[in-house]
Amino acid sequence: MNASDPIGNNPETSANPASAAGDAAGAVTKAESIKLKHLARLLNVTARWRILRELAKGEALPVNVLAMRVRCPAASVSKHMALLKKAGVVTIGYGRLYKLSPAVQPQPGSPRLDLGHCVIKLDTEW
């Protein structure tokens, strides 16, 4: 992965200036600072939509529980979580529990994530 690409898909993309102002781990701190092309790559996998839907419910979850809920191997979920974390969409806390970043956290009871460039409705079952 290239450090300048928050999604890790294209080594030729330039760094986002807002990511330089991110937290100490280098993650993007505001959803608005995710470039649209990176956001499109991030959301092009159905498993990531399912992961986001589970995390939008408000519960911090470990990879193995997310894997069970989204019906995907834990190794794949772990890779998805690394990409989501690098993009600043999720954070990891004590006990390796993942949750949505405060910048994208939906209103209580709302299935909508505001990712800056778009608002995602996550209440539909696939």
Q: In the predicted model, what is the mean pLDDT of residues 56-73?
A: 94
13 versus 7: the higher-pLDDT residue is: 7
Topology (CATH level 3) of domain 31-121? Arc Repressor Mutant, subunit A (1.10.10)
Q: Is the pLDDT of residue 82 over 60?
A: yes
CA within 13 Å, CB half, 13: 20
Q: In the predicted model, what is the mean pLDDT of residues 86-109?
A: 88
Q: Which two tokens stand for residue 52?
A: 């986001």
Main-chain phi, psi angles of 65, to 5 degrees: -70, -45
Q: What angle do CA 57, 59, 62 make, to 5 degrees?
A: 125
Spell out where 10-117 has E strands: 90-93, 97-100, 112-114
Q: What is the pLDDT of residue 31?
A: 47
Pairing of strands 112-114, 90-93: unpaired
| Cβ pair 82, 26 in contact under 8 A | no
Residue range 17-64, pLDDT digits in tens: 333 333 334 444 444 567 777 777 888 888 998 999 899 888 999 999
